[in-house]
């Protein structure tokens, strides 16, 4: 198939899923075109069957806001026409599915029928999309897609509750390419530079937005390190990072916390880790938790959004109520203080990750495309 992919090219989970999906489709022989304002972080431009088209937004002083949707829909018409694309896969309703609808209408005038597949990732629905400023446009974009997918059952329920939906919505979970994860015993996972042999390594990876509750991470870790020797690895940058750093200093644990910034070495960091913390306010799925599990790392998370579909209570980790840092710390310690228990949780985590393997999920997207093409 000839497929166009539109996504946010940043470190966020939707961009990661879109990029990994596109590269895997290309690897299977499909022709894949990424259309966005910047090269997606994990995109390998030299890979076979991969094309990248940059959307330029002209800076014009008359406009208070530069019209990205307009530039995107114009670029979509150009790329779809030139490369005879059959499917456009939009990651995020706003602005991508919205701009794609305009492109579809413009293409109709040229006698071209492009099929739109929209994947909702959560932020576009629960945090932004349902706001009165955008709601009508989001609802319209969903209802006018040829196929719609969401990343968890919980997100499907939210979408149906928040919007007036008159089209089918299929759940296709986030996925993971297990082959990309080094085994803990491999040489790459030598953690001696980061922690002493008796120290446990606890990790949090996010874009440090308030929805990720990185301050809760610090509170949880503070309680852990009082009970057992431990280090905290923090990966990612974002609006809360300064508050996080201040709190770490206030608590006097600066020598136990490593701020690693944005990193492309997430897999390596995870294979050093004994435990992953994800105390988010909400997660439509929680790709970070799945990435941790693929690296055999148990997860302490909240029980919000789609997280209970990924993290299994008392098996791959534990789930607590939002903000209950005492409970999360207690559960974390119960895993970390016992070598045998930790090993058991690690094995369970990996087993659960394999339920979301690339091999299982990729064909679901392919059949979605075929279904959309055949109407």
In the complex, the residues that contact ligand GMT under the rule CB under 6 A are 12-15, 17, 121-123, 151, 174, 206-207, 211, 282-287
Least distance (Å) between residue 124 CB and ligand GMT: 7
Least distance (Å) between residue 91 CB and ligand GMT: 8
Least distance (Å) between residue 172 CB and ligand GMT: 10
- Chain position carrying tokens 């709601």: 135
Of residues 117 and 230, the one with the C-beta less far from ligand GMT? 117
* Distance separating alpha carbons of residues 245 and 83, to the nearest angstrom: 49
Of residues 283 and 296, the one with the C-beta less far from ligand GMT? 283
Ranges of H-type helices in the chain: 13-27, 68-83, 98-108, 135-143, 153-162, 214-227, 241-250, 266-272, 287-294, 325-336, 339-354, 358-373
Of residues 121 and 191, the one with the C-beta less far from ligand GMT? 121
Other residues' Cβ atoms within 10 Å of the Cβ of residue 254: 11
Least distance (Å) between residue 15 CB and ligand GMT: 6
Q: Backbone dihedral region of 116: left (phi > 0), alpha (psi from -120 to 50 degrees) or beta?
A: beta
* Distance separating alpha carbons of residues 241 and 238, to the nearest angstrom: 6
Of residues 224 and 362, the one with the C-beta less far from ligand GMT? 362
Least distance (Å) between residue 206 CB and ligand GMT: 6
* Distance separating alpha carbons of residues 85 and 2, to the nearest angstrom: 5
Least distance (Å) between residue 283 CB and ligand GMT: 4
Of residues 17 and 32, the one with the C-beta less far from ligand GMT? 17
Of residues 98 and 222, the one with the C-beta less far from ligand GMT? 98
Which of 234, 229, 235 shows the shortest CA–CA distance to 196?
A: 229
Of residues 137 and 373, the one with the C-beta less far from ligand GMT? 137
* Distance separating alpha carbons of residues 292 and 270, to the nearest angstrom: 6
Least distance (Å) between residue 84 CB and ligand GMT: 29
Distances (CA, A) of 17 to 28, 152, 161, 290, 336: 16, 14, 25, 12, 30
Distances (CA, A) of 176 to 165, 234, 289, 305: 29, 21, 11, 19
Of residues 86 and 158, the one with the C-beta less far from ligand GMT? 158
User: Reduced to 3 states, what is the DSSP secondary structure of residue 186?
Assistant: coil
Q: Output the CA angle 156-23-115, nearest 5 degrees.
A: 55
Least distance (Å) between residue 267 CB and ligand GMT: 16
């Amino acid at each position: 198939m000839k497929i166009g992919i539109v996504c946010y090219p940043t470190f966020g989970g939707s961009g990661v899923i879109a990029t990994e999906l596109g590269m895997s489709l290309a690897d299977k022989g499909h022709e894949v075109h990424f259309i966005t304002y910047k090269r997606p972080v994990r995109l390998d431009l030299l890979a076979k069957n991969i094309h990248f088209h940059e959307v330029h937004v002209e800076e014009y002083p008359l406009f208070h806001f530069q019209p990205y949707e307009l530039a995107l829909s114009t670029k979509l018409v150009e790329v779809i026409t030139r490369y005879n694309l059959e499917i456009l896969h939009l990651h995020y309703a706003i602005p991508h599915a919205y701009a794609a609808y305009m492109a579809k209408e413009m293409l109709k005038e040229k006698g071209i029928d492009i099929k739109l597949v929209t994947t909702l990732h959560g932020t576009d629905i629960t945090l932004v999309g349902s706001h009165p400023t955008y709601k009508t446009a989001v609802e319209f974009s969903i209802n006018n897609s040829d196929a719609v997918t969401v990343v968890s059952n919980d997100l499907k329920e939210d979408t149906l509750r928040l919007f007036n939906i008159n089209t089918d919505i299929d759940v296709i979970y986030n996925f993971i390419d297990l082959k990309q994860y080094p085994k803990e015993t491999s040489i790459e996972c030598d953690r001696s530079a980061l922690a002493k042999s008796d120290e446990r390594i606890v990790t949090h990876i996010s874009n440090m937005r308030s929805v990720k509750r990185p301050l809760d991470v610090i509170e949880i870790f503070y309680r852990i390190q009082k009970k057992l020797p431990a280090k905290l690895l923090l990966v990612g940058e974002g609006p809360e990072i300064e508050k996080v750093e201040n709190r770490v200093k206030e608590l006097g644990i600066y020598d136990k916390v490593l701020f690693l910034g944005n990193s492309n070495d997430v897999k390596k960091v995870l294979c050093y880790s004994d435990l992953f913390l994800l105390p988010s306010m909400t997660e439509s799925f929680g790709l970070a938790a799945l990435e941790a599990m693929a690296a055999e790392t148990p997860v302490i998370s909240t029980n919000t959004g789609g997280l209970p579909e990924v993290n299994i209570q008392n098996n791959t980790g534990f789930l607590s109520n939002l903000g209950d840092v005492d409970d999360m710390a207690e559960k974390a310690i119960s895993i970390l203080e016992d070598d045998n228990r930790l090993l058991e949780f690690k094995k369970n985590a990996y087993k659960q990750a394999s339920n979301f393997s690339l091999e299982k999920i990729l064909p679901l997207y392919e059949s979605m495309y075929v279904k959309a093409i055949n109407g």
